[in-house]
Structures are given as structure tokens and as C-alpha cells.
Structure 1
Amino acid sequence: MQTPVPDYLKHVLSQCQRNTDGQLADYIPELAAVDPDKFALALSTVDGTIYSTGDDEVEFTMQSMSKPFAYALALQKVGLTKVMEKVGVEPSGEAFNQISLEKDSNIPKNPMINSGAITTHSLIPYKRTVSRAEQLRRFLSGLAGRELSFDSEVYTSELKTAFRNRSLGYMLRTVGVLEEDPEAIVNGYIKQCSIKVTVKDLAMIAGVLANGGIQPQTGKKLLDRSVVRQVLSVMLTCGMYDAAGDWLTTVGIPAKSGVAGGIIGVLPGQVGIAVFSPRIDEHGHSVRGVDIFERMSREMGLHLMEGTPSAQTILQSCYWAGKNDDVRVYELRGVLQFTESEMLLRNLQEEPPGDTTIVLDLTNLTLIHDVGARMLFEGVERLQQDGHRVVVVDSEGLLSQTQIQKHAAVLVQEELERYLQQYE
């Protein structure tokens, strides 16, 4: 069988594709010329598996999605204390390009608004031969697992219209937050925003944060857990600017958007999500991207405040049973929500087509989320299509009638050992 996760992502994309609200970021000439109908979605698991659909090979610039990673790099290199001396962590409740500072300290309110991001850029250590933007490009390449590059045309285009960011730079220099030439800092910040990615790159980058700072494909520790926690906290409260409160209540995933049309989201310990669609709303967020995140959070139970525990593995054991070793038993444990269901389905897709009896034992599960039940029974149907007889043992009655729906025929409510006696 094939895991249904790619099909689900395609379905989500198709459901949101008809939304053509929003406008291109026309204040940056190069972004005003992009194809507004490009649309892509990618999801990464904490073990490095990437699922993607749509225009997932199309590169676009990170823009403000680079901000949390510049913040992460500064924290990793110079430490929280020094960063906090220059940039706060309070939500501003204002637009991303608002000219504002903390009243008492005269520092930017947080690293996600432009004044804070420009300041954060200035905190990245650099060498005379390696600029701060280049340091960040190399760092992001390590997170993504491939070499990323700058978009020189977008960079040049943005420089020509960066009057407001320049004014922010000079303001920050006036109050002593910046200690160097503001023109050089602002130019470096704009170059940082021109780093090119695909949704698959962004999903992998998000996956590193979801995995506590460890690049799942290489096993390399790229960020301290304390840095990841700080970055995700600020993303949750400040990443979506003056729409952060609405985002927190409806989506509940730490996120960051960019005016090129990308949104990146991280659910710690579970998944990284990336969306690309260039039309943006008045907050600078991709309109379709917001739709997708709202839908996936609701349908997949991904809201951070769901509060359900996540298991490291869903499989307690997997073995052959029966007199002729012709019954394949999967004993599950823990909770069954999206992450665990995806792990289970990935194991089940290794089953070759045939007429084996496959038993899925739910006895040691403590909770089955609706998305877990849907994915479980989608796996059952696909195994049946491959010729298998599938049985779901639910001796504790964990599945609700709503979750069972049309699948009652595969359910067995006696204990696993008793059920398996018929095959001996």
C-alpha cells in the first residue's frame, strides 16, 4: 500500500486553490512580476521524511521568513543575554514595517518586525571575507540539507525601494541600537531576505526546529534546544505580526510569513509545514497559505493547545502469528494522532500486496484523535485493495461511533490473544 499523506496534501491544495484573494507584493518590482497562481505545500516529519505537492520545485525568496533564523543564528553565536540587550520579545500589535521602539529601553519590540530584524542582522558575527548575509545563507543551507543561493535580481529590486527600511536603520543608529553604518546593515538585511528556497527546503528547515535543533537527515545538532525554544516562542507570539492573536487562536502553530508568498510553521516534536502562494493580504501573509494552515490545524489536530502527548514511536511490536505464520500483527501503543499515524502508515506501506491477514491491535493506545482514526482506516482500505484481510482489535472500545463510521466490519472487540486463538 501507499501512505495516504501525499493524497491528503493534494486534496488540501485543491480545496484552497480556488481562493484568488489578495495581491502581489507590488512595492518590490521583482515580486510584482511573479506568477500569482503558483501554489505548493510541503510537510516534514521529525525523522526527515518530506511530503510535497504542487509547484514544489519553484524557488522563491524567503523575505521575512529569514528573520527567525537570523535570530536563531545570533542566539547560537552570541547568546540570549546579548541579543536581549538589543531586541525585545514583546508582540508589537503593529504592522511589520512600523517605526516604533520600546518606550523605556529604545530597542525594537521583537525580532520579527523589520526594526528588530535589522538589529538582529547586525548581531550575527561575521568576517571581513564572509558577510552576515552569507553566514546566514550557509547556516540555512545546513538546515535545508542543500546549498541555497541568493536571488540577485530580487535583491537589487528591493534595494531600489527600501526607503522605509533605510529610515529604520538610521533611527536605530540614532538611538544607539546599531553601532555600525546603517546603510551596510540594511543592505545586508535585504540580501538575507533574498535567499531562495522551495517549499521542500522550507519544510526541511522547519523540521530541524520541530526536531529540537537536530537535522534529521544527517543527525547533526545545528541549534541548542534552548535556542529552538526561544525562536519558536517568539514565532508563536510575534511571527504573524498584527494578526498574531488571531493566528494563535485559529491555527496555534508557531509560524512566520514572507511577502513573496511563503509561510513556514513548526509544531514541536511533530511536523514542519511550508506553503507557497504569492498573493498576500494586508498583513503581508499568503492568503491561500493562511487557508491551508487553518484547514490542516483543524483537520489534523495540530493546534499547539490540543495538549495531547506525542509518542516517539507508535509500534510496540510487530510479529507473525498463527499456525502457519500467516497472520501479521501490529501492536500499537501511546496516542494516535497525525505524527504517529504517519509513522504507522509508513510501516504498513512496506507490506507487499497479497492475501495476508493483518491485525492492528489498539489495546495499548491511550487516545485516538479523529485524524488518527481517519488515517488508520485509510490505511485499512489501502491494505484491503492490495488483497489483504485486515482486522482492527479494539478490546477497550477506544474508537467512537463517529470514528468508526463505515468500518465496523473490520472491528473486533475481544482481546488480542483470544482473537488469535482461531489461527492456531
Structure 2
Amino acid sequence: MQTPVPDYLDEVRETCAHEGDDGEVASYIPELADADPSLFGVALCTIDGTVYASGDAEHRFTIQSISKPFAYALALADRGLDTVLEHVGVEPSGDAFNEISLEQSGRPRNPMINIGAITTHALVGDADTTPADRVRRIREGLSAFAGRELEVDDAVRRSELDTASRNMALAYLVHAQGKLEGEPHDAVEGYIEQCSLLVDVRDLAVMAMTLASGGRNPVTDEQVVPAWVCRQVLAVMATCGMYDAAGDWMSTVGIPAKSGVAGGVLGALPGQVGIGAFSPKLDRFGNSVRAVRTCERLSRDMGLHLMQAPEVASHVLYGVVEPDDDGDGVREVQLQGTMHFAAAEVALRELERVPDDGAPVVVDLSRVASTNDVGRRMLREGIRRLQRDGHDVRVSDPDRLLDSRDRAEVATDALPADEEGTADTATERADTERPEEEGRATEQAHERSGTDRAGTD
């Protein structure tokens, strides 16, 4: 059997290509003004690295503003959340991508508009990184997200430098406010080179899936940035990634996304899919008309809206085999699906109902596909409490889902092994997978946010 996904993508692309022909190519950058408006490609990347594509999927175009979330990710990884928040906020601007959008403190409102992206660019690397090394770090970092070495379109780079007066003015303005590190012209030149990297929709889909997979590239298996960085980036993309159309996008499409004026759109749905789409004609917000339609269609058809509740928690219990059902005198609690907070909470309530009748208890995880840290900790604690209450507990965990994953922990009593697998009930005391400052993100962001919007235009 051949999977129907490629045929479905072909149908989506053909339908979206014929639903009107509105929009205009970006004309303020001469090299982009010459783009072929008929080009149209779309690609999906799954969590295991499978890439499906349709249309002009191998046509390369400059990444432009789609580079912003990835440069933001590198800055967070290199400098930490506290330092980045000192220079760039996380609030939606409601402004066009090239507007002067500053808080009262002089801090750019977010890293997805030009004034914030230029400021973010200067934060990649450490405080002593040279402009040339910073450009190299960004190029290598974005290449790691894509899973291949990306090249710069020098013609587009030169064309953007020739028309960079506004970006240069934005850089000097932020520098005057004390929020831009280094020299403004270095930041703008590096930012333009960052935007001139060549990608295709397959690259965008893989880059998106890397963000959606907690920083692990599904093709190369490289951990590009820490998981906490991806969570921060996706949150900002969700609220700020589509400029002053971000609210409409989030309510309609519901996928954290970023667009670029060359015609690309990237969408990253955590744990599910990475989307890359490209067509040069833009709407009045600077987003590709056909790419937006494509994402709307995918979200609607495939149930990809971030706010659509998954139907997994209520189905976590596969069954309970009572001691007398099969004559072995053992009670089996059989779990299934994915263990996150809601699912593990249902499982704990089932364990709570285990009667004190002396029958051994088997917690069967052989049908559980995966568990996150919260689900793992909750299950381990439930098993520990059953043991503490005097139950003889055994765990069937063939995939070792309850093992610690790169955590410092203090072990308690180990669970007995059965024929299918083993697990212990170590209680995890160190549960941070990100720098300590990330835990203070919301509080600090609110503290630094200005109460008045700076109308400086």
C-alpha cells in the first residue's frame, strides 16, 4: 500500500493554487521583486523525520524573517533567558514587521519584528563574539536545524544591503536606548546575511519539526538547542510570528508559525508536525497568500489546531484484570497511550482504587507509547505509594519508560522485575531541563513590559 499523504498534499496544493490569484510579490527588495509568482510548494515533516512534499518543493528561496525564531533560539541557548529578556520583550506588537515598536523602556516588543530581530541577532554567541563569528554561528545553527549546510544568496544579500536604510535606523534607535549590543551597522549587516540564507520547503518542514520536537532534529538526531528554548520560541511564535495578523492566524490556524517576505511560511505544531510552504505573492500583512491558505486547510482537515483538545486522557486505561479473572491471583492494571499530566492523573485514580486484598499488583505499561517527565514522575510516585501501603507491586515496562532520563535523582526501593521488563521507583528531586532563569520568565517579562505603547512613528 502507498500512503495517501502525498496524494492529499497534491490535492491541497492544487486547490489552494486555484482559489484566487490575489497578492503581490515583495517589491521593495529588487531581487525579490523578480520572483516567479507561479511557484508553489508545500512539505510536511513528521516526528520520525519522514518528509512529504508537493509542487516546487526543491525550489530554493531566501529564508528572510523565518530566520528570526531560529536566531532567537540560538541567542537563548547562548546567553540565557534573563539576558535576552533584558534586551527584547515577548509581547505582541500589533504593528507591521518594519515598524518602530518599542516599550517605554526602549526595549523592542518582541524578536519577530525587525527591530527586535536585529537586537536578537546581536545576542547570538557570547558578549565577546565578533560580528564575523556571530554570522558563522547563526549560519551553522540554522544549518543544524535544517539538517544540511545552508548557503547565502549573495545577490539578495547585496540587494537588501542597498535598501537597508530603515533597518539601519531601527538599529541606531535601539542602540541609543542601550538595548543593542555592539555596533548598529554590524548588527544590520549580519541580520541581512542571516535573512539571505537559502532554503526550500523541505528545509522549513524539518526546521519546524526540530522546534516541535524539543530541539532534536528528526532527520539527523542532533539535539540542536535545549527543549526549554523551543518552548520559549514556540510561545513567542504563537503570539507574534505572523505580525499584526497573529491573532487571526492563531484563532483560525492555531499553529505557531513564522512567515518571510520571500513567500515562505513555517508552522511547528509541538509533538506532531512541521510544515513548510512557499509561494511569492504576499497579502497586506506580508504573508504568502497561498501558504496561508495551505496552512488553514491543513489545520482544518487534519485537526492540527493547537487548542483542539486531544482525546487521550480518558482512554488511558486499557483494562483491569481482576485476580480471579484468569486464575493467577494477580491484579493487572493495563495502561495505554501517551502519559502526560492528564493521562497519568487518570492512571493514578485507577491505582487509588486497588483494594487491600493482598493480591499482587502488576502495572502493565507495554501498551504505553511514550511518557513525558511529568507523566513518568506521577506514575513512579503512584507505584511507590502502593508499595508503601504494603502492596506487592510489579511493573511490566519493556520499553523502560519509567527509567530516569538524564536526571539527578535519589533512589528508593526498587521494583521487582517481571519477565517483560523492570523499573524502579526512584523519586526524582531534580526536575529542571532548562536554566533556572527560565522558570522566572513570565514574572520577569511582566516586570519589564512597559504599560504604554511607544508611538514613535
With the shorter chain as reference, the TM-score category is: 0.7 to 0.9
- The aligned residue for residue 223 of structure 1 is 225
CA shift, 1:143, in A, is: 1.5
Q: Superposition pairs for residues 313-328 of structure 1, below 5 Å?
A: none
CA shift, 1:310, in A, is: 6.7
- The aligned residue for residue 307 of structure 1 is 309
- Percent of pairs identical after alignment? 58
- From 164, 167, 181, give the equivalent of 2:166: 164
- The aligned residue for residue 120 of structure 1 is 120
- The aligned residue for residue 108 of structure 1 is 108
Q: Following the alignment from structure 1 to structure 2, what is the Cα–Cα distance between the partners of residues 69 and 183? A: 21
- The aligned residue for residue 393 of structure 1 is none
- The aligned residue for residue 196 of structure 2 is 194
Match status 1:241 vs 2:243: yes
Q: CA-to-partner distance for each residue in 1:153-197, whole Å, 9 max, x for gaps?
A: 000001111111011011011111123221111111111000100
- The aligned residue for residue 76 of structure 2 is 75
Give the letter for the 2:232 counterpart.
Q
Q: CA-to-partner distance for each residue in 1:121-162, whole Å, 9 max, x for gaps?
A: 010116448432221111111111111100000000011111
Q: 1:79/1:13 Cα in 2 relative to 1: closer, same or farther (>3 Å)?
A: same
Q: Following the alignment from structure 1 to structure 2, what is the Cα–Cα distance between the partners of residues 36 and 57? A: 16
- From 139, 149, 156, give the equivalent of 2:141: 139
- The aligned residue for residue 93 of structure 2 is 92
Q: Following the alignment from structure 1 to structure 2, what is the Cα–Cα distance between the partners of residues 197 and 132? A: 20
CA shift, 1:83, in A, is: 0.1
The answer to which of 130-139 and 182-191 deviates more is: 130-139
Q: 1:128/1:115 Cα in 2 relative to 1: closer, same or farther (>3 Å)?
A: closer
Give the letter for the 1:5 counterpart.
V
The answer to which of 127-136 and 242-251 deviates more is: 127-136
Q: Following the alignment from structure 1 to structure 2, what is the Cα–Cα distance between the partners of residues 83 and 37? A: 40
Give the letter for the 1:66 counterpart.
S
- From 255, 258, 262, give the equivalent of 2:257: 255
- The aligned residue for residue 208 of structure 2 is 206
Q: CA-to-partner distance for each residue in 1:191-239, whole Å, 9 max, x for gaps?
A: 1000100100111111111111111123221111110000000000000
Would the aligned equivalents of 2:123 and 2:181 in 1 still touch at CA under 8 Å? no
Residue 88 of structure 2: SS of its match in structure 1?
A: coil
Q: Following the alignment from structure 1 to structure 2, what is the Cα–Cα distance between the partners of residues 113 and 207? A: 22
Structure 1: unaligned runs, 5 residues or longer: 317-332, 336-363, 366-424
Give the letter for the 2:173 counterpart.
M
Q: Following the alignment from structure 2 to structure 1, what is the Cα–Cα distance between the partners of residues 121 and 131? A: 17
- The aligned residue for residue 357 of structure 2 is none
The answer to which of 180-189 and 192-201 deviates more is: 180-189
Pairwise CA RMSD = 2.0
Q: Following the alignment from structure 1 to structure 2, what is the Cα–Cα distance between the partners of residues 309 and 6? A: 26
- The aligned residue for residue 284 of structure 2 is 282
Structure 2: unaligned runs, 5 residues or longer: 319-335, 339-366, 369-457
Give the letter for the 2:235 counterpart.
S
Q: Following the alignment from structure 1 to structure 2, what is the Cα–Cα distance between the partners of residues 148 and 44? A: 18
- The aligned residue for residue 183 of structure 2 is 181
- The aligned residue for residue 64 of structure 2 is 63
The answer to which of 117-126 and 87-96 deviates more is: 117-126
Q: How many residues align?
A: 318
Q: Following the alignment from structure 2 to structure 1, what is the Cα–Cα distance between the partners of residues 245 and 55? A: 27
TM-score scaled by structure 1? 0.72
TM-score scaled by structure 2? 0.67
Q: CA-to-partner distance for each residue in 1:274-329, whole Å, 9 max, x for gaps?
A: 10000001111000011011111011100000010579xxxx9xxxxxxxxxxxxx
Q: Superposition pairs for residues 3-42 of structure 1, below 5 Å?
A: 3-18=3-18, 19-42=20-43
